[in-house]
Structure 1
Amino acid sequence: MINYSKIVGIFSRVDEDLGNSSLLVSVRKGLTYMIPLLLIGSIALVFLSLPIPAYQNMMKEIFGDEWKNVFLYIRDGTFNILSLIMVLCISYSYIIELKEKYNHNVSPIIGCLVSLSSFIVVLGISKDNFSIKNFGVIGIFIAIIVAITSSMVFLKLSSLDFLKINAFTDGASSTFNYASNSIYPAAITIAVFAILNQILISVFGISDIQNFISNFFSEIFFKIKSPFWSGILFIFLIHILWFFGMHGSNILEPVAQSIFIPALAKNQTLVSLGQRPTNIFTKTFFDTFILMGGCGTVLCLVCAILIAGKYKNHRRLARLSSIPIIFNINELIVFGLPIVLNPVYLIPFLFTPIILTITSYLAVYSGLVPYTITTVEWTTPIFLSGYVATNSIKGSILQVFNLTLGILCYIPFVKLAESVSYIRMINSFRRVCTVFKENEEKGIVSTLISRNDDTGNISRFLTADLEYALKNNKVTLFYQPQVDYKGDIFGVEALLRWKHDIYGYIYPPLVIVLASEGHLMDKLSYWILNRVCSDLSKMNKLGFPNIIVSINMSVVQLENDYFVNNLEKSIKKHKIAQDKLEIEITEQIALRSSKDIRDRIMAMKKLGVRLAMDDFGMGHSSLMYLKEYEFDTIKLDGSLVREILYNNNCRDIIQSIVSLGKSLNYSVIAEYVEEEEQRDILYELGCHRYQGYLYSKPLNYDELIEYLLDKCESKFCG
């Protein structure tokens, strides 16, 4: 019996190994960078090649004979230079990856230019047999190889001190310094590829690598006598080449021209003579029944993602790809998902077309479906192409069958890909949390979104998801009750909670940092203040007018220019008493606060809002801030409360703070009270207000109301 968990585990380990490969990570990132241009090019091709005569005539009548030129220009600037774009994107991502990993002091821009130059050197524009098509989809494989190898060579040479030119003055810009230090490494790198190109020509007689590969495969097909196995091999090679980034259809075009296009012509001749066609495998056969949506039968993959996929990003990409896919333009999904170099999709990408080739062959061989007898434009949509190719509705029915079968083939791998992706994302998320918490412990301000590594990627995704969550009210607040020694409730602390669809509850300080870096702090702060005031207003109407709600604010939130305005706006909007709202700031914020933050704290006091110092210790500076800010409440540092059972020093410190609080007329609250023994000791030390799991875990609003109703005998209840 197949163990699905083991399969997921195997692919996850493979994916993790690939994820640790700077080379493959760079290729994937480079392909991702290309998505906007791929989408633009796909749209242009759809408008350009829509095989509907009425549409073509309409466009000609409205815009004249030159109406196609605009879309041709867009195609020239996207698909026709796809290899050039790929060189730049992959080279850039590879240099950035290694630059951060090994601290290479090089300019990624210069590295990209060196790779671009090396690529053009390899193609050899001055050759008599050079084709501009090599800059397009045909040259993708060479582009990947040259981008990686040239970047490797350039980085290695740039790390050698004796190749650096240190002739610049102190006043030179960093750009000039980068440029001057790159002269020798760039020159040597480009020269290496020029020499390699000449060796290929002089020693091996290879003046055009693409033609060499095409001729190599053509010779293989000429040795195969069986039409059936020739067709199976043709489909297999197209897809194995595509998987590794080579345009299989173009590379094997000579095979199609010499075998499968003549086969269609022979069928047409036989039909014109009133005879029965004899060739099942034709170019039209493959384009119509196998390559639905382009190579890999990716129309089936797109449908499978839309049917069985759960991840928003995958479904969004599938929707974007769906219209071009209908017209067999599949670069967006092939490079965007990606399928190229993706081990999870290797099996269905290779074998789904082979399965459909066999089923279609049997359908035609048995007489269920007519032979293909008509040349079909490659952009003709599915179902229409089946009818045109066979001059029968049976051709369309076969496409329906193949589409269904292909979807069924892809669905298990869509689920597998999402399982592997889930594990990868969870591991990446854990690394983000680890980095953040380590920095937090060291007192280092984390910078996440601007990073170019995996931590930066997942942080950017999280920030986008946070923005979506704020817009769609998927962020919430929990409230933890604050009680006195008798168990009577006098207040609650509002705690931010964001439950991510994949990662579960996100560490609140991490949410704050993401909001700050993602320019969402104003929205988040206003949402928190507005929700607290709204809930407080509802509590008042339910008969709990004396409950104080405290909000813990970070330094990042207090640095927001609109914080005080948002606070005042929320109070007025919900018509609540200012003294029932308490803003908590940490001792660290007070100690590190700027003049702007101090001004905002004073402005809050003028509004009549209560002020609490959270995580209070016994530092000399913190005592000074108690006097300056006129706090209403002191919340004991959690470490003091946690260690109170076995650390007498903690007891002495707490007793001193309580005594100080009484002298200054401050309330003192102990957090993290989880055991009755803790509470009893705190009571003996004079601390009579508590917050912690001994009384209640944080509750959502509805749970809080139930809790308050159960405790309505409190003297503070209405």
Structure 2
Amino acid sequence: MKIDNTIEMIETLPMTRALRTALVMSIPILMIGSFSLILKSLPIPAYQRFLEIFFGGALRDILDIAHRATFGIFSLYMVLAVSRNYSQDNSSDPLMFYGAPIASLISFVILCGFFSGRPSIAALGVNGMFTALLCAVCIPPAYLCFVKRFGGRRRIYTKGADYIFNLAIGSLLPLFLTVLFVSSLNYIIVQSFGVSGLYELLVKGGQHIFSGRERSLKSAVLFLVSSGVMWFFGIHGNNVLDSVIKTVFYPGIEVNHSMLAVGLVPSEILTKTFFDTFVYMGGCGGAISLLAAVLIFSKRPSSRNLAKLAFLPMLFNVNEIMLIGLPVVLNPIFLIPFILTPITSCLISYAAFYFELLPVTVNAVEWTTPVLYGGYASTGSMAGVLLQLVNMIVGVFIYRPFILFSDKEQELISNKQMNALVRLLQEQEVKRSPVMLTELYGTMGAVAKELAEDLDYALFSHELMLYYQPQFDDKRRCIGAEALLRWNHRRFGFIYPPLIIKLAEEKGFLSELEENIIIRAAKDLPLVQNALGSEISVSVNVSGLTIETDAFEQFLKKAALSGKINAGKINLEVTEQMALSSDPRTEERLRRICALGFHLEIDDFSMGHTSVKFLQSGIFGTVKLDGAIIKDILHNQRSREIIASIMGLSRSLGFKVIAEYVENEAIMEALEEIGCRAYQGYLFSPPLPLDRLPESVKK
């Protein structure tokens, strides 16, 4: 339980959310860089010769530019993306959104030592990602403190200047103080350790661990642990420890060549090729095993889709897409297997070579050599391929429990986040206090924004579904059905339907969504009638906001006249929770819609928004009672009296009444006593997908 709470706490931190979003945003950059690197480095002699002679090496240069423009300055992208996400999700102050990314970028440049006289261009790429992430997650809060302390009324505004100019001037003091603070910190580092900045301090610190060490199994394990820990913190361990590889392990191949030249049997096991081929299969952390474990065991669509994207690059040992996209970086769940898997592969491989089950590596193999082929190329033996397979399988089972645990944790966290958002919406519905979900800050705001974007895509890609809940009379004969929107989100599962409507309303595509539902219901109508009865009609919910627009009226007119919609069998349920104007123009509009053949219904009647005037006019032919009073009918006499009053109105004014949320026989009997004869609810049938509708009439 403590582990679960700790992971949930980490996942819900503002910095973690900002980082996760930025890492996902970086996937296109990583893919471009990965494929550019693969195309540039394919270890095929004929292909490499082609790159050299094709237009004088122009293609190689183009691929190299693409790689440098992505991987080569990847840390710059991360600084800007993470700081931007943090600012957007955690503050409404425009100075924060404007100044925090700038402050983070300047701080990153300072801490990388670019003004010390010996800057390292490598710091801009994946090597400098830890420094980049440190700046991106620490500088925005510091900048925000300066904004709060020196902002407000003390901001400098220039009369007559535009908004952006005033924003720039207002950020001047907080930005200056942030840069001054970081410059002072870096100066202390430079003077104390004799380095150019924080980045060089981290690199030299990693290399110092191996100072004076010899090539041994103990050094190999230490190297793997150090590299894995660095990767966890966003530092490209292998690149930082490149000098260690060159001085400690790379000479092993040369020793083997020398022994072979004088007729001796090569005996050096620990070589750079040993690590590239048998330990770092798919990249650092034995990532090919992680890839396979995700594809085999993970139930999360997002993880599986990421693994599919990363599959080809990882065959060539380029694993940044998986490590950053999953992510492994700063993810405590994967720290143990990420270190344990390469150590296990190292020990298994070392034992195999030590007991002479296969010849030691004598051929230097490019690190981009595809998995499995590399085992043969490095040893000249199929036993090398078999050893790679063994290591991969062992790694898969090391990663397996952590994949399953990660899935479980992400599901729990997602459910809590979604439940919190739904509770907030339900409270807003009860209190009648409107709230803009996508403008909230913190976790709920981030979830609402994610859902809104996904909903827009789901509408475009036809991922939304319609379920149908049949309606019955007191003789248990099916008299109609209501089309109900359902959305099975890849991360959150089935989404609370009112939340879907709310998000569509906030993002401005509610009318488009409701038109889409009507078209889908009209298309399904013959199949629904085939399942429930040839004479039944289908009801579709429409908000008061939508039905009052000219565009929606024109949509209905065009669809009805063209025969795209059988207007006589499509009922439009106007949800009473959304206010409907009672002015003459609205009444005339509703009459024109009725003239097209549509039957109008009031949904959730008794909530208090819709005027009784519409019932007097006869525009609405059906009233659906609000579920709240139906559920309360057995225990609240006032609810019975309200329903009885509505039934009295229905008899005098000539409209039909349908009771929703009829969950049991007792509720149905109470409604019958009052005079209600049409029902909808779980007593008869839950909402069902189209292919299961016949089940509802076979009971």
TM over 0.5: yes
Deviations 1:671-693 (A, max 9, x none): 34456665566555554444445
Tell me how far apart the structure 2 counterparts of residues 30 and 188 of structure 1 sit (CA, whole Å): 26
Q: CA deviation at 1:301?
A: 0.8
Tell me how far apart the structure 1 counterparts of residues 245 and 695 of structure 2 sit (CA, whole Å): 74
Q: CA deviation at 1:243?
A: 0.9
Q: Is the 8 A contact 1:107 1:178 kept in 2?
A: no
Matched with 2:651 is 662
- Compared CA separation, residues 125 and 693, structure 1 to 2 (3 A): closer
Deviations 1:617-649 (A, max 9, x none): 396961223345622123334444444455554
Q: In structure 1, which of residues 392, 395, 409 is the aligned counterpart of residue 384 of structure 2?
A: 395
Which letter does structure 2 place at the counterpart of 1:415?
Answer: L
Deviations 1:655-678 (A, max 9, x none): 443333333222233434456665
The alignment status of 1:138 with 2:130, answered yes or no, reads no
Q: CA deviation at 1:172?
A: 3.9
Which letter does structure 2 place at the counterpart of 1:476?
Answer: L
The alignment status of 1:375 with 2:371, answered yes or no, reads no
Q: Is the 8 A contact 2:545 2:578 kept in 1?
A: no
Deviations 1:74-93 (A, max 9, x none): 12211111222222122222
Matched with 2:288 is 299
Tell me how far apart the structure 2 counterparts of residues 540 and 193 of structure 1 sit (CA, whole Å): 70
Q: CA deviation at 1:650?
A: 4.2
Matched with 2:5 is 13
Q: In structure 1, which of residues 461, 479, 495 is the aligned counterpart of residue 469 of structure 2?
A: 479
The alignment status of 1:152 with 2:144, answered yes or no, reads no
Deviations 1:473-520 (A, max 9, x none): 772322232314x55554443433445576554322223334556777
Query: Which shows bigger deviation, 46-55 or 157-166?
Result: 157-166
Residues 67-82 of structure 1 mapped to structure 2, 5 A cutoff: 67-82=59-74
Tell me how far apart the structure 2 counterparts of residues 515 and 352 of structure 1 sit (CA, whole Å): 45
Q: Is the 8 A contact 2:482 2:539 kept in 1?
A: yes
Residues 567-586 of structure 1 mapped to structure 2, 5 A cutoff: 578-586=567-575
Size of the aligned set, in residue pairs, is 698
Query: Which shows bigger deviation, 614-623 or 190-199?
Result: 614-623
Tell me how far apart the structure 2 counterparts of residues 561 and 57 of structure 1 sit (CA, whole Å): 66
Q: CA deviation at 1:337?
A: 0.8
Matched with 1:273 is 262
- Compared CA separation, residues 296 and 709, structure 1 to 2 (3 A): closer
Matched with 1:43 is 35
Q: In structure 2, which of residues 14, 17, 20 is the aligned counterpart of residue 22 of structure 1?
A: 14
- Compared CA separation, residues 152 and 167, structure 1 to 2 (3 A): closer
Q: CA deviation at 1:608?
A: 1.7
Which letter does structure 2 place at the counterpart of 1:482?
Answer: F
Query: Which shows bigger deviation, 621-630 or 406-415?
Result: 621-630
Tell me how far apart the structure 1 counterparts of residues 459 and 566 of structure 2 sit (CA, whole Å): 29
Q: CA deviation at 1:155?
A: 1.3
Which letter does structure 1 place at the counterpart of 2:11?
Answer: G
SS at match of 1:280: coil
Matched with 1:716 is none
Q: CA deviation at 1:182?
A: 1.5
- Compared CA separation, residues 599 and 357, structure 1 to 2 (3 A): farther
Which letter does structure 1 place at the counterpart of 2:231?
Answer: W
Deviations 1:13-67 (A, max 9, x none): 2221102333333333332332221111111111111121222333455544222
The alignment status of 1:33 with 2:25, answered yes or no, reads yes
Q: CA deviation at 1:596?
A: 8.9
Q: In structure 1, which of residues 231, 234, 238 is the aligned counterpart of residue 220 of structure 2?
A: 231
Q: CA deviation at 1:532?
A: 3.8
- Compared CA separation, residues 490 and 619, structure 1 to 2 (3 A): same
Matched with 2:307 is 318
Matched with 2:297 is 308
Q: CA deviation at 1:206?
A: 2.6
Unaligned runs of 5+ in 2: none
Q: Is the 8 A contact 2:39 2:63 kept in 1?
A: yes
Matched with 2:101 is 112
Q: CA deviation at 1:464?
A: 3.2
Residues 46-445 of structure 1 mapped to structure 2, 5 A cutoff: 46-99=38-91, 104=93, 106-161=95-150, 165-169=154-158, 171-224=160-213, 227-444=216-433
Tell me how far apart the structure 2 counterparts of residues 209 and 540 of structure 1 sit (CA, whole Å): 71
Q: CA deviation at 1:362?
A: 0.7
Which letter does structure 2 place at the counterpart of 1:243?
Answer: F
Tell me how far apart the structure 2 counterparts of residues 166 and 453 of structure 1 sit (CA, whole Å): 26
- The two structures have a TM-score, normalised by structure 2, of 0.89
Percent of aligned positions that are identical = 35
Matched with 1:6 is none
Tell me how far apart the structure 2 counterparts of residues 419 and 500 of structure 1 sit (CA, whole Å): 16
Q: CA deviation at 1:345?
A: 0.7
Q: Is the 8 A contact 2:621 2:656 kept in 1?
A: yes
Tell me how far apart the structure 1 counterparts of residues 71 and 137 of structure 2 sit (CA, whole Å): 21
Query: Which shows bigger deviation, 145-154 or 339-348?
Result: 145-154
SS at match of 1:293: coil
Tell me how far apart the structure 2 counterparts of residues 113 and 76 of structure 1 sit (CA, whole Å): 23
Tell me how far apart the structure 1 counterparts of residues 579 and 675 of structure 2 sit (CA, whole Å): 26
- Compared CA separation, residues 340 and 504, structure 1 to 2 (3 A): closer
Q: CA RMSD in A?
A: 3.4
Query: Which shows bigger deviation, 190-199 or 548-557?
Result: 548-557
Q: Is the 8 A contact 2:578 2:609 kept in 1?
A: no
Q: CA deviation at 1:295?
A: 0.9
- Compared CA separation, residues 522 and 71, structure 1 to 2 (3 A): farther
Tell me how far apart the structure 2 counterparts of residues 237 and 453 of structure 1 sit (CA, whole Å): 35
- Compared CA separation, residues 20 and 575, structure 1 to 2 (3 A): closer
- Compared CA separation, residues 136 and 576, structure 1 to 2 (3 A): closer
- Compared CA separation, residues 551 and 272, structure 1 to 2 (3 A): same
- Compared CA separation, residues 600 and 381, structure 1 to 2 (3 A): farther
- Compared CA separation, residues 94 and 494, structure 1 to 2 (3 A): closer
SS at match of 2:485: strand
Tell me how far apart the structure 1 counterparts of residues 328 and 314 of structure 2 sit (CA, whole Å): 15
Deviations 1:147-187 (A, max 9, x none): 33322321111111379754424544332333222211111
SS at match of 1:333: helix
Unaligned runs of 5+ in 1: 1-8, 711-718
Query: Which shows bigger deviation, 401-410 or 465-474?
Result: 465-474
- Compared CA separation, residues 457 and 36, structure 1 to 2 (3 A): farther
- Compared CA separation, residues 517 and 377, structure 1 to 2 (3 A): farther
